[in-house]
Structure 1
């Protein structure tokens, strides 16, 4: 049995990072042990997994949403230890030394934001001192969406103690090679299957108070400039959309910046009757209703690496329209699991028209085939292989 520690966001914190880490922990707990570690025993069928999460993740004034926490009981099937204070260097040393003494076989850590580099980079350096634990990083981004002067320095500080990397898109792998040539593998983001089984459209629409006779395009997730909601609003105001009067845009997710420019744009474009705003945080048990009410999921991003939204759409077998940026085109098969277009209102509008005037059922077969590529078991296997194959050299 391998002892595995996952360092990062988990209960009681909310959002995609927590969902990812908790789902990964369950995948390790359920995985059959292969001979990927020197100490593997083929007769043992479970890994020992602990998630080490934060006591303080972000200071309140830096968090753009309304709350960082979920309003739900803790998961009973996971061991989650709250011990990391992201702003307290004394705590970083304490946690690093504690985890070093535990001599875990593997530590898995996500990298998503340079803000976390001093905290996580220090903890990882101290863990390495035991000359036993292998550190594997799953990269959400190497270069953040919003750039700051110290990003490169902070990223280098975090990356140095890591033994090997999982990149979830070619773009991220390319960005990583600007910093290091350490072992890395491309493993797509697994399907997010933690949001329950699909329900029929009528049930979903009734739950959300929507008219099931209308058709819906879904923009899902927190709202920031790089996600291009303004491009999508302008696309809906395009003359080409006049032939789709029964198609409405459902926006589901919390504003992580001022909502005023978006609300003003809706007024300016006279879209009040076509845009449905559910701009609050969507709890996990509500996610299925939004995807099952939708006919298509649209990601009109200006920039991207990869997106968990795509993998939720695969789980619910919903076609997608994504822009040709970052790793998004790697995840969607053009004209098979959706459409790929340029990040431009006219191009987005054209893709929407093509979708709603074409044979929408043809996408389902390809979605069912393609989503089989994105398994959590495969991700676990790749992490353990990297842990065994990575050269282990102490870097001070």
Structure 2
């Protein structure tokens, strides 16, 4: 089958680019002819205030990658669709409703001659704008089918379209693995890690309040880009008297620095208010690190409570405080670390690819 994936790829960074690239490699390995249609310019800077691109790839770039799409050039959207009419399947990786006008332009260029699937990482954003629902409704009613990563997301999609909606668990699409950190191995570190893009729905403020009320002597590293700036977080750290215990490292974290961050931590903490799933769970397990997460999205399925991590309630500093105290009971960090196992995602990827390429799964045709 001849397949085009429309979505971000290197030099763009982050989970979306990782997923697009890994999906292309997996489809290629399954015997399909694959191309990636990526972006020359994906978002205006005021819509994405963080660092959009990187100079060193975080994995193996896919050789069949074209970078023709530009948010400033609607004429290029239609031309891309016209050029993809010879393909059997066009997969549009939807990371934000901001992409929808370009994707509608591509669909207009296709003129219905090629099966098109919207692969939605999130059907609607965690922090919504008034235009999100109408944009996503317009897109999902134009494609032939929709692929999402959980039943909860499927329900959202079915509320926006009558097109077929398929569900497939999202396999890991991690950066190229590095060596274990210099501080890796057994033993307690008295340090937690919050890692990745920092946005309000991820609950860093809840974690800081729980840390202030939790076990004494435990520190926290916060590493990642702050959506909207770091000043508010700095003020909260000072207000809670945590200045000596919280290490804020704002900015994009290169893949080369990730092993050391995880190697210095007893646990990765995901105090999200809402979620679908997070690749950070699988990343922590790759480095042998337990996870403390809230009961949202797929975390309760990813984290085995009491085996390789702990589950607590979302947006509840008291529940998270209790989890931190349970985690730091004598011998618990070591016991939970011993339960961590990297996950073999090959079977998940095989299922994912099968669902995506099977017309009856994600198409009305």
- Contact 2:172/2:282 (8 A) holds in 1: yes
Match of 1:232 in 2: 207
Q: CA deviation at 1:372?
A: 4.9
Query: Superposed, which structure 2 residues align to 1:27-46 within 5 Å?
Result: 27-31=26-30, 46=31
Equivalent residue pairs, number: 361
SS in 2 for 1:188: coil
SS in 2 for 1:257: coil
For the residues of structure 2 that align with 1:113 and 1:91, how far apart are their CA atoms? Answer: 19
Q: Per-residue CA shift, 1:274-325, capped at 9, x if unaligned?
A: 1112211012232232223322111111122222222322333422111122
- Contact 1:195/1:288 (8 A) holds in 2: no
Query: Superposed, which structure 2 residues align to 1:171-186 within 5 Å?
Result: 171-186=152-167
Name the TM-score, length of structure 1 as normaliser: 0.83
SS in 2 for 1:368: coil
Match of 1:111 in 2: 94
SS in 2 for 1:17: helix
Match of 1:214 in 2: 189
- Contact 1:25/1:78 (8 A) holds in 2: no
Match of 2:33 in 1: 48
For the residues of structure 2 that align with 1:383 and 1:363, how far apart are their CA atoms? Answer: 36
**In the alignment, does 2:129 pair up with 1:148?**
yes
- Higher helix fraction (1 or 2): 1
For the residues of structure 1 that align with 2:32 and 2:346, how far apart are their CA atoms? Answer: 23
Name the TM-score, length of structure 2 as normaliser: 0.90
- Contact 2:21/2:62 (8 A) holds in 1: no
- Contact 2:281/2:302 (8 A) holds in 1: yes
Query: Which stretches in structure 1 are left out of the alignment for 5+ residues?
Result: 32-45, 205-211
SS in 2 for 1:286: helix
Pair 274,373 (structure 1): closer, same or farther in 2 beyond 3 Å? farther
Higher mean alpha-carbon deviation, 185-194 vs 91-100, is at 185-194
For the residues of structure 2 that align with 1:236 and 1:141, how far apart are their CA atoms? Answer: 30
**In the alignment, does 2:314 pair up with 1:340?**
no
Q: CA deviation at 1:8?
A: 0.6
Q: CA deviation at 1:88?
A: 2.6
Pair 304,196 (structure 1): closer, same or farther in 2 beyond 3 Å? same
Query: Which stretches in structure 2 are left out of the alignment for 5+ residues?
Result: none
- Contact 2:123/2:157 (8 A) holds in 1: yes
